[in-house]
Amino acid sequence: MHYHTIVIGAGPAGLFAAGQIGKSGRKVLVLEKNAQAGKKLLISGSGQCNFTHSGPIEHFFTRYGDHEKFIKGALTRFTNEDTIRFFEQAGISSETRENGKVFPKSSKSIDVLNALLMVCKKCNVEVKYNQGVSHIERYDGIFTLETQDGERYLADHVVVATGGKSFPHLGSTGDGYRLASALGHTVVEPRPALTYVTTHERTYCALSGISFKDAGVTLWHENKKQVERHGSLLFTHKGLSGPVILDATRWMMPGDQLTVNYLYPMTYEMVRDQFAKEIPERGKEGVLTYLKQFDTLTRSFCETVLEHLGIPNDQTCARLSKKEREMLVTELTRCTFNLSGIGGMNSAMVTAGGISLKEINPTTMESRKQKGLYCIGEVLDIDGDTGGYNIQAAFSTAYVCATHLAK
């Protein structure tokens, strides 16, 4: 029962790390709480597993909120190309879709999971299921791990790969935070990320399902600009969603404001000047017809905008007052939404927050608080954008840890 390394959690981070350490001939055990491995991995990418993204690895650096500095080294040492190569060697070829997302060619997440398990098996890594670790202690340089059923295991090194707190029914219930804090770690408050938002304004809720391919979104906290992004935006029956919203949720709090520019990349000033020049020249042409020249604005959206502003649907350009024109420009380029809520942990694809990065060495993933303890994957205070960035971070942090432990 004494191992060189015990990995807690059989998600992508834990399994990948275990396989890589196992390759060096070390005695490795994975303890998994569930009756099966990788439950979250199996549902990722709608069951197809978007395991990384295409393009130069430098483009990944800005995809992890404010944590570029920490994650950069790991991503550089185990890149998206390395991930693709790893799976190719395991017999899983990949395909890059139009939006740059990389999936297994079979579109089956089970193939990705099986490849990870196969490497573990080949390297004699033991994987034990229904073994939820509830307690860790370190005495005389040796870790003792105790499970919920009272089983005990000893190890020289422990890797915490227990994931975050989102989708808790899949096994990630925040145990890693408790285990690490008991060993002296600080946990940055876990928050739901990559989720939808609800808004006080319900103007566009009837248009639920309508999306904009490239809308500009600015987040404001107490009237201070937090972040500006652009991308695909979706109206929902209670607020907003779509990648541009999901990617910004890591910074959002109820009470914050969002301003949406439906005519991005045109700015407020550009639209104001264009409307001021063109609308008075259009005479009897309907305002609705004028607005339809903008490809991104659907008829139902324009009708809702006019109704919301109290402008009749059949208003002609000639009769549109200056005030109405300005209201129209503001609604189309600086449409304001007050956030009433952020989707909870049951709908968040990842957890923002987690084990503080200040206490982890980014070149090894070893704890600066407890020698021999390592933390990898989503349990860390790292969350990536949608598009394969989270699973890539799980592999990259696992690789850095494993190469250090395999030495």
Ligand X SMILES: Cc1cc2nc3c(=O)[nH]c(=O)nc-3n(C[C@H](O)[C@H](O)[C@H](O)COP(=O)(O)OP(=O)(O)OC[C@H]3O[C@@H](n4cnc5c(N)ncnc54)[C@H](O)[C@@H]3O)c2cc1C
Q: Which positions touch ligand X (CB under 6 A)?
A: 8-14, 31-34, 39-41, 43-45, 50, 132-133, 161-163, 166-167, 171-172, 175, 349-350, 377-378, 388-391, 394
Toward ligand X, which CB reaches closer, 146 or 324? 146
Question: What is the closest distance, in whole angstroms, from the C-beta atom of residue 232 to ligand X in the complex?
Answer: 16
Question: What is the closest distance, in whole angstroms, from the C-beta atom of residue 37 to ligand X in the complex?
Answer: 6
Question: What is the closest distance, in whole angstroms, from the C-beta atom of residue 373 to ligand X in the complex?
Answer: 14
State how far Cα 393 lies from the chain centre.
10
Toward ligand X, which CB reaches closer, 152 or 322? 152
Toward ligand X, which CB reaches closer, 167 or 264? 167
Question: What is the closest distance, in whole angstroms, from the C-beta atom of residue 9 to ligand X in the complex?
Answer: 3
Question: What is the closest distance, in whole angstroms, from the C-beta atom of residue 205 to ligand X in the complex?
Answer: 24
Residue keyed to tokens 């959206």: 301
Toward ligand X, which CB reaches closer, 12 or 22? 12
Toward ligand X, which CB reaches closer, 175 or 331? 175
Paired tokens of 58: 């430098």
Question: What secondary structure, in 3-state letters, does the chain show?
Answer: CEEEEEEECCCHHHHHHHHHHHCCCCCEEEECCCCCCCHHHHHHHHHCCCCEECCCHHHHHHHCCCCHHHHHHHHHHCCHHHHHHHHHHCCCCEEECCCCEEEECCCCHHHHHHHHHHHHHHCCCEEECCCCEEEEEEECCEEEEEECCCCEEEEEEEEECCCCCCCHHHCCCCHHHHHHHHCCCCEEEEEEECCCEEECCCCCHHHCCCEEEEEEEEEEECCEEEEEEEEEEEECCCEEECHHHHCCHHHCCCCCEEEEECCCCCCHHHHHHHHHHHHHHHCCCEHHHHHCCCCCCCHHHHHHHHHHHCCCCCCEHHHCCHHHHHHHHHHHHCEEEEEEEECCCCCCCEEEEEECHHHECCCCCEECCCCCEEECHHHECCCCCCCCHHHHHHHHHHHHHHHHHHC
Toward ligand X, which CB reaches closer, 172 or 199? 172
Toward ligand X, which CB reaches closer, 271 or 349? 349
Question: What is the closest distance, in whole angstroms, from the C-beta atom of residue 166 to ligand X in the complex?
Answer: 6
Question: What is the closest distance, in whole angstroms, from the C-beta atom of residue 69 to ligand X in the complex?
Answer: 20
Question: What is the closest distance, in whole angstroms, from the C-beta atom of residue 223 to ligand X in the complex?
Answer: 33
